[in-house]
Structure 1
């Protein structure tokens, strides 16, 4: 997560002031803990009850990472196929848009009916929310190649495969990583939403049980866990990007 907070001390200061304001307002206004617990109460509960949600973290993280990897790979393959076969792109591009217009909360019960309460329907939900940003970003990267470079490749007698491998693919990497950054923020939340619909363990299950018992402090613990792992996975993508797209990093420096 260091890559997210490497802009100096200002983000830490803003975050500290936010928690201090939150702590102060709950004490001065005497807000009940079941309605809005203070950060100190949430932290204390996290320390004392971590054995309860520790197995849930592993289950959610496994689901989120697996869905992210599969969704990103499928998204990139779809983008590559549609780019290399323009007739397929014209035929199937509208269906990519339509795939995002069906609310997950409506689709999820159908997946449970079709595939049961196991790991597979939850995985499908995460794949559906992760593949789209990678597909669209990669397609834009493949298409937005500078004309002069494309003209140079044609003048040099490069084949279609050589043009794709040496020009279009490298040009698509920065947009593709932008799509990955969007997908990674969806993956953890997608895993939690899928767990709401039926699971034995996971942060979504922990959040549902805590909400039903009016344990607002534990609900906030689940929220902070989701935020933490979303930022962690985002930081990993940023580090991979810096090592893969070195020419971009040098240009930014």
Structure 2
């Protein structure tokens, strides 16, 4: 029997591979350090609650948090859809009309220097404590990145490609839907994913200013009662909500653009 026949081709014991995303491992390490630090330092819960205390609050307030999460989710989704419906046509006009760009584009950029917290009380005074002012704040927060990235995407199509389409007799509408829009989709999805994060922030800002429901309202009430565990519980739910929306947009991007590698591919 040769040496090659004696060498094992397969391991005698099966190899068990444990795979976990690096972000999850980092989060677990940070939570363990946090729990240990609170236990060693004996900090009171109204200063810094432990992760176990926050998990207990998540369980005890699960019904209440589900209700307020649904309110915040409605504000985020409606505001995001309104921003998308306004931003894409506006970006198209900016891309195709130099006069419109010189007239509107500087105003769009300048409007982003206005703090949304300063606008929120005005909207609340005009429309009350309903959904309208909160959806407006969300739309204003999500509007800008979609416009900017859509303009960049529409202008990223090479002029040679447009000349080729014109030489083949494509109409301006066909050039837009078959050449410019497919080329702009990666940039548009990048802007939409950025806008989804800002939309969650906008909803919370609006609820901070004036609201009787939503996760921002839960954080405000818990803070006034020095219930830091409840505050952290609502913050955890907000983080999960924003992450889920971001992930859903990434899945839509994969299905619409299978040839394009999304930016949030996890290990």
Q: Give me the TM-score of the superposition, normalised by structure 2.
A: 0.87
**Aligned partner of 2:192 among 180, 189, 202:** 180
Worse-matched range after superposition: 39-48 or 146-155: 146-155
Q: What SS class does the counterpart of residue 40 from structure 1 fall into?
A: helix
Partner of residue 15, structure 2: none
Partner of residue 241, structure 1: 253
Partner of residue 195, structure 1: 207
Alignment of 1:114-133 (within 5 A): 114-133=126-145
Greater helix proportion: 1
Moved beyond 3 Å, runs of 4+: none
Gaps of 5+ in 1: 1-6
Gaps of 5+ in 2: 1-18
1:225 aligns with 2:255: no
Partner of residue 143, structure 1: 155
Partner of residue 90, structure 1: 102
Query: 1:79-135 CA deviation, whole Å, 9 max, x = no partner?
Result: 122223231112100011012110011111111122222211111100001111111
Q: Is the 8 A contact 1:142 1:171 kept in 2?
A: yes
Q: Give me the TM-score of the superposition, normalised by structure 1.
A: 0.92
1:73 aligns with 2:85: yes
Distance 2:20 2:186 in 1: 25
Distance 2:57 2:128 in 1: 34
Partner of residue 20, structure 1: 32
Q: Tell me how far 1:8 sits from its aligned partner.
A: 4.8
**Aligned partner of 2:117 among 98, 105, 108:** 105
Larger radius of gyration: 2
Q: Between the two structures, name the one with larger relative contact order (CA 8 Å, sep ≥ 6).
A: 1
Distance 2:45 2:125 in 1: 38
Query: 1:22-57 CA deviation, whole Å, 9 max, x = no partner?
Result: 001111111111100000011012112223332111
Distance 1:249 1:164 in 2: 23
Alignment of 1:137-176 (within 5 A): 137-176=149-188
1:60 aligns with 2:68: no
Q: What SS class does the counterpart of residue 61 from structure 2 fall into?
A: helix
| Matched length | 245
Query: 1:129-175 CA deviation, whole Å, 9 max, x = no partner?
Result: 11111111000011111233122123223222221111111111000
**Aligned partner of 1:39 among 29, 32, 51:** 51
Distance 1:9 1:158 in 2: 47
